[in-house]
Chains A and B, each alone.
Chain A
């Protein structure tokens, strides 16, 4: 809310500079900064911009802020008197008010002002409005806006003759009722909305905006001036459902002062008759509703100090409350506090404690550390796992990415976790690129690849740790995944690096497994997938649990993505990974005898995979075989169709003695003939 010294000057004399005042207000919970007036030509000084929290409805006016300043500075509030002259004609002869929704319309009062002359406002008024960003309209509308700003009471002026009839009713709208508001827009209402109606039609959307059908303009002669009190939640609902936020709805939704309804009407009527020359008819036409009773709240001074950790004296507490216009009965040890009508936010003891703390000053509350028992903090397994993975993957050269959890509809469908999974869609997405909760981290990382390729960036790959969202039998489930995505080729230009292929990706998987001390994963062939290359992809199975999948993305799939070659991607469910227990470390004694390495180069059927070959070798090798590593696989030139060349290194050794050359040769020969017998493999020529 914008405010200036000339506005405040009507109610309080301020000794301090605007900068000092802004600081005082800020430190009392009314965050205030100095800014330029929206109309610097009219008001050249800095104005105060008070950013109010939703609980401080009482400060949505010059009067409210002046009250606050008075409490903070000790400055006395001044009267701003006015006088209202009525004519003999009683207003009741022209207007009657009835309220059919007394829970929603709490008070309704109106005055009739006849024979006004609608003109521009005098300069002092239009300047005052402009200085805080309100656009002057005409003398009558300007007075209602002035009072709203000054007293915090929203008013509305109807062109009386356009109402065509004397009975005014406040009721709930009918479902589907159409109403054209002052801004010229037709609104469709429901039974949640409150309307003011004349004898023929609705004339205002209560508390939010008047109707176009009764708008005051230069032809207007008689004014019906409304000052009312509406139920905050009702106004909030209407304002929200229609997307119509006005200065009036803003105040009603937060709660206006029930005791201010009439005084505001009187001051406005006086000003209008003064500025527009009208005759104010005798009496206020009103629906009084329930009589307002001030709230009574008890306060235990010792509770103030117990919660704040302070030693504020009882009389200090009382004096703080009194400067804020609370009246305090201190006969008993428990204080009995009467809340002024404008403080709708104060209902409980804790609300009063906050008031005391605020005025005492948060800065004056001593800093302590809790006197609580020592406890050991606890970190969830998955957080520890994430930390470990982050350390490992970054050490291996990858950078971590974080993508939005929502993706476009187009990106969602290919990456559904299961084909039958329905998307979880936002009702109010912020853009068409962010409509659907992701079920895979791949789309995000792919997008990052495209962006980085476009910008000519070189890098080995990215990883991301984040949640995916799945709806299963009406229940929404979240899983935390790790996704590693490495680039296929662009790495070459980086010094000393080769190409990435399926095995580079598998290297990442193996590092993770090793780090977590899990058993070697089983990779299973994936059923046909549109995303993955059929020959270079696999499901990852660890300790008998399927934890994820990996592979090169399908070239067809990638063709829609502006990427030069298909990235390699690995996705693992971290909650599942977490549930697996690593093996306990137990030291194996080292053999004191030498280890002998023998290479074996075979030409073998392409269909025989490494795992099979290695287990055949191990099967035959006996006690002296320590291990087998495949270090080269080659298919192509010089190798017959349907065959491949495999080179492996076999380690021989014993824990008890040095092996004899003949012994090793015999074992080697034996392994070879066994392989020949089982698989028809032959020694590769030249070896």
Chain B
């Protein structure tokens, strides 16, 4: 009997690994473990045996049963794993197709650069102040030391609404509004739209400007240089050369035009910088005593600097855009790039 058991085990050892499908395994299960299976047959014949032999036979046949059951179970697990693998392998998606849900859009490059400039000056303690885009002649010109019939008015072609009202040609009027409202010291920037009657690839009848100014005791021209250099280096990078050269604005004196080394040609000279290696990027200067007088500040006590930077100019340099009109056409292929 024991031999018979051994033989059953040997047969199972051969046949279970040979099974190729779950069905094969099921029929093996019936063959070995079923009601009429080989093991049941042995168990049935145990009743003919007694004593120690019966005990041993019972033990052995149990072991063989466990052996076969475990063998089949392992193969089933194996088959199931294979089947799952097969199923999953057929569920392959095209991983190269686009993601769903759409991409985010973009802020307009002018907004992005504007925010960047505001950020840089905010960190230096400049607060933001806004003013109206439709201004009076007084705030846009007179209070800024640009009287009527002064040649400086030709520097800025103005859109007029009436004798009195015009579209501001710069954000400098905010300087006057602020100084009229607050006593010094103050440190402000004024971002916004400005308008000049001019249109070509580098001039737009509407553009954006940030005017900045600081008034305190003992503010110097050296401070103006320091603050603007800090700004330029934050915006364009530390390696960009900066130079200050004398210029003229009616509301500042001494006035300075600020140039940076041409970012297009690394100052070698190109079409963009008219072969000079330098690009003009902002106007600045110490606030003219006349302006202080118009807002009731004593120029003997207070000094200050002011500057104005054209945002489109920065945008065009930053992204190598050669036609300003692209900025206001709003072609989605353009807007999507930023």
B11-19, B60-68, B241-249, B260-268 - interface stretch: B241-249
Asked if residues B331 and A451 are in contact (CB atoms below 8 Å), the reply is: yes
Check: B71 CB closer than 8 A to any chain A CB. no
Q: Which among B106, B220, B230 is the interface contact of A400 at CB below 8 angstroms?
A: B106
Contacts of A424 in B (CB 8 A): 134, 161
A374 at the B interface (CB under 8 A) = yes
Identify the interface centre among B229, B253, B303: most chain A CB within 10 Å of its CB: B253
Chain B: residues with Cβ within 8 Å of the partner, total of: 90
With an 8 A cutoff between CB atoms, is A353 at the interface?
yes
Shortest CB-to-CB span from A19 to chain B, Å, is 10
The answer on a CB contact under 8 Å between B226 and A367 is yes
CA distance A424 to B274 in the complex (A): 40
Contact (Cβ within 8 A) B220 A309 = yes
- Closest-CB distance, B306 to chain A (whole angstroms): 13
Interface: B1 (CB within 8 A): no
B272 at the interface (CB under 8 A from A): no
Measured CA separation A358–B104 after assembly (Å): 50
- Interchain Cβ contacts within 8 Å, total number: 260
Interface pair A401/B330, CB less than 8 Å apart: yes
Assembly CA distance A308 to B305 (angstroms): 11
Within 8 A of A (CB), among B267-308: 274-276, 286, 288-289, 303
Residues of B close to A369: CB separation below 8 A: 223, 226-227, 230
Residues of A within 8 A of B256 (CB): 362
Complex contact B107–A400 (CB within 8 A): yes
Q: Which residues of A contact B118 (CB under 8 A)?
A: 379, 383
Known: A426-B160, A494-B102. A29 touches B244 (CB 8 A): no
Inside 8 A of A448's CB, which chain B residues have their CB?
Answer: 329-330
Evaluate contact between B108 and A54: CB separation under 8 angstroms. no
Contact with B along A323-364 (1 / 0, CB 8 A): 000000000000000000000000010110110011000110
B221 lies within 8 A of A307 (CB): yes
B142 within 8 A of A: no
Nearest to A424 among chain B residues (CB) is B161
Contacts A33-B276, A357-B221, A379-B128 given: A497-B331 contact, CB under 8 Å? no
Q: Which residue of A lies closest to B304 (CB)?
A: A370
* Docked-complex contact A377 and B107, CB < 8 angstroms: no
Give B305's nearest chain A residue, CB to CB: A370
B35 within 8 A of A: no
A390 within 8 A of B: yes
Q: Does A397 contact B (CB under 8 A)?
A: yes
| Docked CA distance A401–B219 (Å) | 39
B335, closest chain A residue (CB): A399
Please tell me if the beta carbons of A478 and B330 are within 8 angstroms of each other in the complex.
Answer: no
What's the least CB distance linking B266 to chain A, in Å? 18
Q: Which of A308, A378, A431, A434 contacts B222 (CB 8 A)?
A: A308
B214 / chain A contacts, CB cutoff of 8 Å: 370, 372
CB of B226, distance to nearest CB on chain A (Å)? 4
Chain B residue nearest to A375 in the complex (CB): B125
- Least CB separation from B193: chain A residue: A405
CB distance from A256 to the nearest CB of B (A): 13
Q: Could you tell me if B133 and A372 are in contact, using CB atoms closer than 8 angstroms?
A: no
Whether B332 sits at the interface, judged by CB under 8 Å, is yes
Complex CA distance for A609 and B223, rounded to whole angstroms: 65
Contact status B205-A403, CB under 8 Å: no
Contact A362 B328 (CB under 8 A): no
B52-104: which residues lie under 8 A (CB-CB) from chain A?
97-98, 100-104
Task: Identify which of residues 294-341 in chain A touch chain B, using a CB-to-CB cut-off of 8 Å.
Answer: 306-310
The stretch of A3-11, A258-266, A275-283, A459-467 in contact with B is A459-467
Residue B323, interface by CB 8 Å: no
With A and B bound together, what is the CA distance between A309 and B225 in angstroms?
Answer: 10
Question: Please, how many angstroms separate the alpha-carbon atoms of A39 and B311 in the complex?
Answer: 38
Q: Is A427 in contact with chain B by the CB < 8 A criterion? A: yes
Asked if B162 CB lies within 8 Å of chain A CBs, one says yes
Min CB distance B150 to A, Å, is: 7
Asked if B197 is at the interface (CB within 8 A of a chain A CB), the reply is yes
Q: Please name all residues of chain A whose beta carbon is closer than 8 Å to the beta carbon of B139 when the two chains form the complex.
A: none
A348–B289 contact, CB under 8 A? yes
> What residues of chain B lie closer than 8 Å to A307, measured between beta carbons?
220-221, 286, 303
A494 CA / B122 CA spacing, docked (Å): 40
Measured CA separation A390–B338 after assembly (Å): 14
Q: Chain B contacts of A451 at CB under 8 A?
A: 329-331
Note all chain B residues with C-beta closer than 8 A to A27: 243, 245-246
Known interface pairs A363-B244, A367-B222; A427-B125 also in contact (CB < 8 Å): no
Q: Which of B228-254 contact A (CB under 8 A)?
A: 229-230, 243-248, 253-254
A402 at the interface (CB under 8 A from B): yes
B187–A428 touching, CB < 8 Å: no
**What sequence of 0s and 1s flags, for each residue 141-167 of chain A, a beta carbon within 8 Å of any chain B beta carbon?**
000000000000000000000000000
Does B30 belong to the interface (CB within 8 Å)? Answer: no
| Contact B133–A469 (Cβ < 8 Å) | yes
A366 CB within 8 Å of chain B: yes
Closest to B123 in A: A377
Say yes or no for B154: interface residue by CB 8 A criterion.
yes
Q: Do residues A404 and B332 form an inter-chain contact, with CB atoms below 8 A?
A: no
Whole-angstrom CA separation of A343 from B106 in the bound complex: 53
Q: How far is the CA of A404 from the CA of B199 in the complex (A)?
A: 12
B2 interface residue per 8 A CB criterion: no
Nearest CB on A from B196, distance (A): 9
Mask: chain B, 310-329; 1 = CB below 8 Å from A; 0 = not: 00000000000000000111
Q: Is B111's beta carbon under 8 Å from chain A?
A: yes
* Cα–Cα, bound, A379→B121 (Å): 11
Chain A proximity of B325: nearest CB distance (Å): 11
With A56-B248, A378-B128 already in contact, the answer to whether A425 and B327 are too (CB < 8 A) is no
Q: Does B110 contact A (CB under 8 A)?
A: yes
Contact A26 B248 (CB under 8 A): no
Interchain CB contact under 8 A, A372 and B247: no
Is A579 in contact with chain B by the CB < 8 A criterion?
Answer: no
Question: Contact: B329 with A427, CB < 8 Å?
Answer: no
Identify which of A358, A377, A403 contacts B125 (C-beta below 8 A): A377
For residue B336, which residues in chain A have a CB less than 8 angstroms away from its CB? 399, 459
**How many angstroms between the C-alpha atoms of A495 and B98 in the bound complex?**
7
A476 interface neighbour in B134, B328, B329, Cβ under 8 Å: B134
Check A368/B225 contact, CB under 8 A, given A53-B247, A397-B102, A426-B167: yes
A305 nearest CB neighbor, chain B only: B220
Name, among B105, B132, B150, B206, the residue most crowded by chain A CB atoms within 10 Å (CB to CB): B105
Q: Chain B residues with Cβ under 8 A from A374's Cβ?
A: 125
Give the shortest distance, in Å, between A417 (CB) and chain B (any CB). Answer: 15
Complex Cα gap A237–B148 (Å): 9
Q: Which of B107, B221, B289, B333 lies in contact with A390, CB distance below 8 A?
A: B107
* CB-CB contacts below 8 Å: A550-583 with B: none
Instruction: Answer whether residue B40 sits at the interface, using C-beta atoms and an 8 A cutoff.
Output: no
Question: A350, B253: Cβ atoms under 8 Å?
Answer: yes
Contact with A along B120-141 (1 / 0, CB 8 A): 0111111111101110000000
Question: CB distance B160 to A404 under 8 Å?
Answer: no
Name B197's closest neighbour in chain A (CB-CB): A430
Q: Are B255 and A354 in contact (CB under 8 A)?
A: yes
Q: Does A253 contact B (CB under 8 A)?
A: yes
| Residue ranges of B at the interface with A (Cβ–Cβ < 8 Å) | 97-98, 100-108, 110-111, 115, 118, 121-130, 132-134, 148-152, 154-155, 159-162, 165, 167, 185, 187, 193, 195, 197-199, 205-206, 214, 216, 218-223, 225-227, 229-230, 243-248, 253-257, 274-276, 286, 288-289, 303, 327-333, 335-336
Q: List 8 A-B contacts (CB under 8 A).
A: A31-B245, A308-B222, A310-B221, A362-B256, A369-B230, A370-B226, A372-B216, A375-B127
Q: Which 8 A-B pairs have the closest CB atoms?
A: A29-B246, A309-B220, A309-B222, A53-B248, A54-B151, A354-B254, A496-B100, A399-B105
Given contacts A430-B198, A469-B133, 7 further A-B contacts (CB under 8 A): A307-B303, A308-B220, A350-B289, A365-B225, A372-B185, A400-B108, A405-B206
Chain A residues packing against B (C-beta within 8 Å): 26-29, 31, 33, 53-56, 232-233, 236-237, 240, 253-254, 306-310, 348, 350-351, 353-354, 357-358, 362-363, 365-380, 382-383, 387, 390, 393-406, 424-431, 434, 437, 448, 451-452, 455, 457-460, 462, 465-467, 469, 476, 478, 494-497
